[in-house]
Amino acid sequence: MATLKTWVSVPENSDFSIYNLPFGIFSLKNDEPRAGMAIGDQILDLAAISDLGLLEVSAAYFRQKTLNDFIALGKKITNKVRLDIQGLLVSEKSPLRNHPEVFLFQKDATMHLPVHVGDYTDFYSSIEHATNVGKMFRDPENALLPNWRHIPVGYHGRASSIVVSGTNIHRPMGQVKPNTEELPSFKPSKNLDFELEMGFIVGKSTELGERISTKNAAEHIFGLVLFNDWSARDIQKWEYVPLGPFLGKNFASSMSPWIVTLEALEPFKVQGPEQQPEVLSYLKYKGKKNYDIQLEVGMSTQTSDETVISKSNFKYMYWNMMQQLAHHTVNGCNVNVGDVMASGTISGKVESSYGSLLEISWGGKKPFKLKDGSDRTFIEDYDSITIRGFAEKDGKRVGFGEVSGTIVPSK
Amino acid sequence: MATLKTWVSVPENSDFSIYNLPFGIFSLKNDEPRAGMAIGDQILDLAAISDLGLLEVSAAYFRQKTLNDFIALGKKITNKVRLDIQGLLVSEKSPLRNHPEVFLFQKDATMHLPVHVGDYTDFYSSIEHATNVGKMFRDPENALLPNWRHIPVGYHGRASSIVVSGTNIHRPMGQVKPNTEELPSFKPSKNLDFELEMGFIVGKSTELGERISTKNAAEHIFGLVLFNDWSARDIQKWEYVPLGPFLGKNFASSMSPWIVTLEALEPFKVQGPEQQPEVLSYLKYKGKKNYDIQLEVGMSTQTSDETVISKSNFKYMYWNMMQQLAHHTVNGCNVNVGDVMASGTISGKVESSYGSLLEISWGGKKPFKLKDGSDRTFIEDYDSITIRGFAEKDGKRVGFGEVSGTIVPSK
């Protein structure tokens, strides 16, 4: 990775370095949402840069409230836009130096969902998470179900309730039935949880009947975001047999606003865990397909400043994104630009790397301490959860910013 | 129901009587898709009628490739359009009598998906079907899981792969693991099945956090379609624990092209089955919320003409649509105009009313006969499945036409 220097002022340790340049949708007061690119603590107004004649893509693609049409132009074009802007931010003679009006401050902007999500799929690809959940929900001796090492298990989630970072989440009401009760009752969820996940945004559509191979999958992945798959464990536990999670999940999922392109993450590729037994041939892959992205979860409450309650890494995933996409389409299921496919909870081997409160508090049996000395098992009203993530190598940092959300009481 | 007479020629026993007037999207050769209404074997070109100044809705709403924007105008307006047209088709002095160009023949038109489907949910609301599946997939002694009589169990399906009636379906490939094998293998599904379902189209959106009561649910239901939730049982069986069906379902679901409005079905309301034990209060309802809609499934093969293999009725549903919608939103999950919520397989008590081959052939153990004397257990290549449905009372018929599909070999 060549070293690049930009004439733009970028704070030290910024997630949005010259190596990153993620895409998002922002608005200023009284303005319509439009496309932007993050650099340091600023946003580049892509439509304004296009209006200057500095990009090969018409400003009309950037004056939209989602990135779908831009992404659908294809990687050849979207990568060129990103690299052209990188060039403009590096060149000392850049015409952008005479156009300060294309730079806006992130603190003045409201961020929106970057894409319209047609379909949302959630995988279950961390072996540590699947094992932990299996131990608690099912049989401690046979925690991992027989299909798990053969299939990147996934299920369809609700696209309509995906919200952008910063959106308050109402505690869901629902049916719960503790083991001690004979009949279910209707009440606010008591075991409200987060799930530390990452999601990828589909960048190239397929037709019904078409398959994506692990080899070609990268062409279909535009970029990644941080993802919090809020989960009401008590609702989930009662409802999920036999057809899977439903109301325990679909009240909300939160997404970080900046899509970090797969190309920006290229330098951070690493080998994934060994897969045993050998997978079927349509799931085999060559080369490094995992990504070394450091993740952390912070929890703050009405009484306590933020406490970091988990440190994990995207590289732990047993099943990688290429395998997920190959599996999802192996039966001919079609995908569309803007679809979101989330990883499932990303847990590591040690307790400090568990990606959900279900695991951290072991089903509520082991309360943990926050900074002010108070105890928690699950999320209480007005608690906030913030997920952060970044990759770093040779002093070069490519990060995601954060996805945060505060739980407010049931309506 | 007052008797109405139209001056339009409507074949005897047509599903598309003057009492029905369903909405759909059609195109003629070289034309863009646009909105139409079925009457007999003809289609009314709604944009053309609006252009004549005979409707209160601008033709721009009808010159679109989906009905979403029209439906979003709200029932007050969409019902008026339907009733205004009914009046125009009944009045002897109708200005439409001088405009034969607004009538097109269905045989000349291609039908399209009537709505853009944002999210698709599939319920599991027939107690007979859930019991039959439970007996085969799980424990014959405890076929119905403990939550089933308390929750209208449902799961999220794939919106992208919903196709209109008449679309060929490629047999899906996938992972299967028969009990006799130690390891899974990758092959074309052998146990390919249909599911006889109906689906409703959401007609009024909600915000995240909002709930729909059983009392207000009808306001949020624009109308109904026939639905075939194609299912690969061998793929489903291996993959579905613990997160539910995924690739066993998402290769395709087929939908009938004409949306029959809830208002057209009003005369066919009936009382549903008694629910025991008593449901939680958010699921209680008053009045008749089931619909007497006669359903049948025909199967034809390369050697055999169509054989009717099932006769069922939508009135058998244990959980009604109002309860499904109340449950789906009780946690604040938002719904959007165009969302599809399907019933789940509609089986009755007797074998001849089972709504899937899984049940009809009892997991493949009991082959059934087709007209030409040949045997079937599951669907073979080039077999076609056609689902039909209609309501009838006092000689007045409101029907759905059909949803059909032919299975072609794996790609």
The C-alpha atoms of residue B247 and residue B235 are separated, in whole angstroms, by 7
Cα dihedral value A181, A185, A189, A195, nearest 10: 70
The C-alpha atoms of residue B338 and residue B188 are separated, in whole angstroms, by 32
pLDDT tier at A30, thresholds 50, 70, 90: confident
Mean pLDDT of B137-164: 95
Give the pLDDT of residue A259. 99
Residue pLDDT, tens place only, A100-144: 999 999 999 999 999 999 999 999 999 999 999 999 988 889 899
Provide DSSP, B352-408.
Answer: GG--BHHHHTTTTTS-EE-TTS-EESSPPTT-EEEEEEEEEETTEEEEEEEEEEEEE
Mean pLDDT of A202-227: 98
Mean pLDDT of A66-72: 98
Mean pLDDT of B301-326: 98
Q: What is the separation of C-alpha A140 from the centre of its chain, rounded to a whole number of angstroms?
A: 29
Please determine, for residue A224, whether its predicted confidence score (pLDDT) is greater than 80.
yes
Please determine, for residue A160, whether its predicted confidence score (pLDDT) is greater than 80.
yes
Which chain B residue has its CA at the smallest distance from A144's CA? B242
Contact A147 B209 (CB under 8 A): no
- Among B46, B4, B340, which Cα is nearest to B199's? B340
What is the enclosing helix (H) or strand (E) of B260?
strand B260-261
- Among B196, B122, B137, which Cα is nearest to B355's? B196
> Does A197 belong to an annotated binding site?
yes
B-chain residues near A336 (CB < 8 A): 160
Give the pLDDT of residue B137. 82
Residue pLDDT, tens place only, A261-294: 999 999 999 999 999 999 999 999 999 999 999 9
Contact A160 B336 (CB under 8 A): yes
Please determine, for residue B61, whether its predicted confidence score (pLDDT) is greater than 90.
yes
pLDDT tier at A371, thresholds 50, 70, 90: very high
Contact A243 B155 (CB under 8 A): yes
The C-alpha atoms of residue B30 and residue A155 are separated, in whole angstroms, by 39
Among the listed ranges A248-252, A296-300, B134-138, which one has the minimum average pLDDT value?
B134-138
Nearest CB to A330 within list B170, B174, B336? B174
CA distances from A178 to A157, A190, B290 (A): 25, 11, 32
Residue pLDDT, tens place only, B201-227: 999 999 999 999 999 999 999 999 999
pLDDT tier at A411, thresholds 50, 70, 90: confident
B-chain residues near A241 (CB < 8 A): 145, 147, 242
Mean pLDDT of A5-15: 97
Residues of A annotated as part of the active site: 129
Please determine, for residue A316, whether its predicted confidence score (pLDDT) is greater than 90.
yes
Contact A119 B332 (CB under 8 A): no
Q: What is the largest CA-CA distance in chain A?
A: 74
B-chain residues near A244 (CB < 8 A): 155, 240, 242-245
Please determine, for residue A5, whether its predicted confidence score (pLDDT) is greater than 80.
yes
Sequence ranges of the binding site of B for substrate = 124, 138, 236, 240, 345
Which chain B residue has its CA at the smallest distance from A231's CA? B331
pLDDT tier at B411, thresholds 50, 70, 90: confident
- Sort strands A290-291 and A173-176 into parallel, antiparallel or unpaired: unpaired
Which chain A residue has its CA at the smallest distance from B205's CA? A160
CA B90 to chain A, closest CA, distance in angstroms equals 41
Asked if A183 and B146 touch (Cβ cutoff 8 Å), the reply is no
HSE (CB half, 13 Å, CA atoms) of B391? 24
Q: Which of A123, A171, A205, A246 to mutate to test binding with chain B, by most B CBs within 10 Å of its CB? A: A246
- Percent with pLDDT over 90 in chain A: 97
Mean pLDDT of B136-157: 94
Q: What is the pTM of this model?
A: 0.98
Give the pLDDT of residue B205. 98
Residue pLDDT, tens place only, A318-335: 999 999 999 999 999 999
Q: Mean pLDDT across chain B, nearest whole number?
A: 97
Which chain B residue has its CA at the smallest distance from A116's CA? B118
- Among B311, B310, B309, which Cα is nearest to B376's? B309
Contact B332 A245 (CB under 8 A): no
Question: Between A and B, how many CB-CB pairs are < 8 A?
Answer: 195
Give the pLDDT of residue A356. 98
Which chain B residue has its CA at the smallest distance from A187's CA? B331
Give the pLDDT of residue B138. 83
Nearest CB to B411 within list A150, A170, A209? A209
- Percent with pLDDT over 90 in chain B: 97
> Does A318 belong to an annotated binding site?
no
Residue pLDDT, tens place only, B19-54: 999 999 999 998 999 999 999 999 999 999 999 999
Contact A244 B242 (CB under 8 A): yes
Nearest CB to A333 within list B175, B247, B411? B247
Q: Which of A126, A129, A133, A156 to mutate to test binding with chain B, by most B CBs within 10 Å of its CB? A: A156
Residue for token pair 């047509």:
B14
- Among B401, B411, B341, B410, which Cα is nearest to B164's? B401
The C-alpha atoms of residue A224 and residue A194 are separated, in whole angstroms, by 19
The C-alpha atoms of residue A152 and residue B85 are separated, in whole angstroms, by 52
Give the pLDDT of residue A407. 98
Please determine, for residue B321, whether its predicted confidence score (pLDDT) is greater than 80.
yes
Mean pLDDT of A180-187: 97
- Percent with pLDDT over 70 in chain A: 100
Sequence ranges of the binding site of B = 122, 124, 138, 195, 197, 229, 236, 240, 249, 253, 345
Residue type, A13: N
Which one from B99, B112, B116, B129 is the annotated catalytic residue?
Answer: B129
A-chain residues near B239 (CB < 8 A): 147, 151, 153
pLDDT tier at A349, thresholds 50, 70, 90: very high
A-chain residues near B332 (CB < 8 A): 170, 172-173, 251-252, 411
Give the pLDDT of residue B113. 98
Nearest CB to A151 within list B137, B175, B327? B175
> Does A229 belong to an annotated binding site?
yes
Mean pLDDT of A152-162: 98
Give the pLDDT of residue B139. 87
The C-alpha atoms of residue A321 and residue A327 are separated, in whole angstroms, by 10
Contact B175 A244 (CB under 8 A): no
Q: Hey, what domains does chain B have and what are their CATH numbers?
A: 23-112 (2.30.30.230), 120-408 (3.90.850.10)
Counting every residue written for chain B, the total comes to 411
- Sort strands B396-408 and B169-170 into parallel, antiparallel or unpaired: parallel
B-chain residues near A163 (CB < 8 A): 208
Contact B153 A339 (CB under 8 A): no
Residue for token pair 């105890």:
A375
Mean pLDDT of A366-372: 97
Give the pLDDT of residue B32. 96
